Amino acid sequence: TEEGLQEPCKDKILDLTLISLSMTAFSALFSVDSAGACFSSCSPKVCIVGSGPAGFYTAQHLIKAQQHVHVDIYERLPVPFGLVRFGVAPDHPEVKNVINTFTQTAKHSRCSFYGNVNVGKDVSVQELQRAYHAVVLSYGAEGNRTMGVPGEGLAGVYSAKDFVGWYNGLPSCRQLSPDLSCETAVILGQGNVALDVARVLLSPVDMLKETDITQPALEALAHSQVRRVLIVGRRGPVQVAFTIKELREMVNLPGTRPDMVEADFDGVTEALKDLPRPRKRLTELMLKTALQTPGETEQERRDQASRTWGLRFFRSPVEVLADPERHRTAGIRLAVTRLEGSGEAARAVLTGDVEDVTCGLVISSIGYKSLPIDQSVPFDSKSAIVPNTMGRIKQAPGLYCSGWLKTGPTGVIATTMNNSFDTARSLLDDMESGVLDLSAAKSGSQVITALLEQRGVKPVSFSDWEKIDRVEMSRGEASGKPREKLLTVEEMLHVART
């Protein structure tokens, strides 16, 4: 078998195979990769749109698995890393360590970064397809899922995506300036993002001062009057989407105590035995927090707490209630639900009862959604993804997708890594099988940068980003933080070009 051959024998067999080819075919071939596939005299050129985890993990796998491929990454903002920079909570610096791996990929000799390029506006997907052998769309989910209830547009209602973007320095969210003068905030949704937002709202400012949270957010939170946060879900304790790490952080958050409704946990103890281990451990921690009498030390801690947080189950938003002048949020009306079915498949159905909660801040954390980028790219507006099979975009040869655009906004960074590797494998398989035509020379970034120059667009290179990085780190060091982010595109570009 081939696996049993020594390397010299393999080479001789390969030589004979090449000799048997016609001279015309032979002249079109220049090398053989480690998998034995022959590629054209021009190295394969792949373009990736989006420099978040999906984009970088796709690039990483392509570069490692194929020794001739060149990858160009295009990013709308002047700075890379997507949700690692703008989505990960500021008090989770360990999650941001993946930036080190992404930096290695970006600085690889066969990878180039082009920031400040808005694909779909500055350059079309079709133009990229003409310049590259393959195009991978990995631009994520920048849209918001709306609640679709009356009062959603009132002052005091925000999407979690925008709220997170505000405290993490996303330029488009800089002007958000949320009003934190109320006592109670209601967060709709029970995923990790909902708990991140709750934790940031309730964390002691001295804790946040040591993170890379933006200075305007830090100042706003220092003056915040929010003392109570309710995290609301339409289903029950067994169906929450957050993980045990995030729940444990809430349970142990200094200066806070939990506020649960015991009746919400009826029957949950009996359901424990049928749960898979991770879900079982998570549910046990919820039960302990909600029902168990705390020990002396914990009771003392809770007695001294000035802020509270609570999970509220079997509730679904019906209407955001306005103040008498109808200018801003005064409360939220919740429909009471019950479950049909059990476990992950359980559905929430309305009971006909409603409940009003007084609050001045409503944050909707019911999910991000992808948006279409270009009319030439198929898009399923109902599920808000690009229709695909293993990352191959349907009815669009040479076009691929990875990350949340491929699957919808689910999972953590490790989930995105695996789905991005899968897309990269699909693309490599198509190279090896001939589905992707590699015989034609493609000019890649050469023609795209020329087009951008004609259109007055000046891309930001990775070394330009490193200038921004150094300035942010230096500003952070001066105030005892890991970094102080630049908050506008204009400021980023000024530093990059200085």
404 is in an annotated binding site: yes
| Same domain, yes or no: 154 and 138 | no
Number of residues written out for the chain: 498
48 is in an annotated binding site: no
Q: Which two tokens stand for residue 240?
A: 């929450």
| Same domain, yes or no: 230 and 356 | yes
Q: Which two tokens stand for residue 86?
A: 């703008």
97 is in an annotated binding site: no
Q: Which two tokens stand for residue 321?
A: 């209630």
Has residue 188 been placed in a domain?
Answer: yes
| Same domain, yes or no: 173 and 100 | no
Has residue 67 been placed in a domain?
Answer: yes
For the purposes of burial, counting CB atoms within 10 Å of the CB of 273, is it exposed (0-12), middle (13-18) or buried (19 or more)?
A: exposed
69 is in an annotated binding site: no
Q: What is the spatial distance between Cα 54 and Cα 289, in angstroms, rounded to a whole number?
A: 36
**Which is nearest to 464 in space by CA: 438, 497, 487?**
497
Burial 357-377, CB ≥16 within 10 A → b, else e: bebbbbbbbbbbbbeebbeeb
List C-alpha distances in Å: 212 to 102, 285, 460.
19, 30, 23
Has residue 495 been placed in a domain?
Answer: no
Q: Which of 366, 390, 411 is the last residue of a domain?
A: 366
**Which is nearest to 39 in space by CA: 133, 128, 126?**
133
| Same domain, yes or no: 209 and 63 | no
| Same domain, yes or no: 50 and 88 | yes
Q: Which two tokens stand for residue 62?
A: 């392509």
357 is in an annotated binding site: no
235 is in an annotated binding site: yes
Q: What is the spatial distance between Cα 451 and Cα 126, in angstroms, rounded to a whole number?
A: 13
**Which is nearest to 186 in space by CA: 274, 45, 75, 316?**
316
CATH number, residue 297: 3.50.50.60
Q: What is the spatial distance between Cα 422 and Cα 389, in angstroms, rounded to a whole number?
A: 10
Contacts for 15-20 with beta carbons within 8 Å, 24 or more apart?
A: none
Burial 234-270, CB ≥16 within 10 A → b, else e: bbbbbbbbbbbebbebbbebeebbbebeeebbeebee
| Same domain, yes or no: 296 and 432 | no
Q: What is the spatial distance between Cα 77 and Cα 191, in angstroms, rounded to a whole number?
A: 27
145 is in an annotated binding site: no
192 is in an annotated binding site: yes
Has residue 425 been placed in a domain?
Answer: yes
pLDDT at 232: 98
**Which is nearest to 56 in space by CA: 64, 66, 67?**
64
| Same domain, yes or no: 129 and 105 | yes
75 is in an annotated binding site: yes
Has residue 331 been placed in a domain?
Answer: yes
355 is in an annotated binding site: no
Q: What is the spatial distance between Cα 164 and Cα 92, in angstroms, rounded to a whole number?
A: 13
| Same domain, yes or no: 164 and 63 | no
Each residue's pLDDT tens digit, 310-336: 999 999 999 999 999 878 999 999 999
413 is in an annotated binding site: yes
Q: Which of 334, 366, 398 is the last residue of a domain?
A: 366
Alpha helices in 223-322 (DSSP H): 244-251, 268-271, 277-291, 296-304
219 is in an annotated binding site: no
CA 302 to chain centre: 34
Has residue 482 been placed in a domain?
Answer: no
For the purposes of burial, counting CB atoms within 10 Å of the CB of 389, is it exposed (0-12), middle (13-18) or buried (19 or more)?
A: exposed
Q: How many domains, the chain?
A: 2
| Same domain, yes or no: 221 and 344 | yes
Q: Which of 341, 366, 391 is the last residue of a domain?
A: 366
Q: E strands within 65-180? A: 70-74, 111-114, 134-137, 143-144, 157-159
C-beta neighbour count of 87 within 10 angstroms: 21
| Same domain, yes or no: 99 and 121 | yes
CA 68 to chain centre: 30
345 is in an annotated binding site: no
Q: Which two tokens stand for residue 196?
A: 């991140």
Q: Which amino acid is at 467?
A: K
Are 156 and 182 contacting, i.e. CB atoms less than 8 angstroms apart? yes
Ranges under pLDDT 50 in the chain? 1-41
Q: What is the spatial distance between Cα 402 and Cα 102, in angstroms, rounded to a whole number?
A: 16
Helix, strand, or coil (residue 483) = coil
Q: Which amino acid is at 495?
A: V
**Which is nearest to 262 in space by CA: 240, 291, 286, 302?**
291
Q: Which amino acid is at 299?
A: Q
| Same domain, yes or no: 91 and 151 | no
Each residue's pLDDT tens digit, 277-309: 999 999 999 999 999 999 999 999 999 999 999
| Same domain, yes or no: 127 and 195 | no
**Which is nearest to 194 in space by CA: 309, 35, 74?**
309
Has residue 133 been placed in a domain?
Answer: yes
Q: What is the spatial distance between Cα 226 and Cα 185, in angstroms, rounded to a whole number?
A: 7
Has residue 13 been placed in a domain?
Answer: no
CATH number, residue 116: 3.40.50.720
Domain assignment of residue 195, given as a range: 146-366
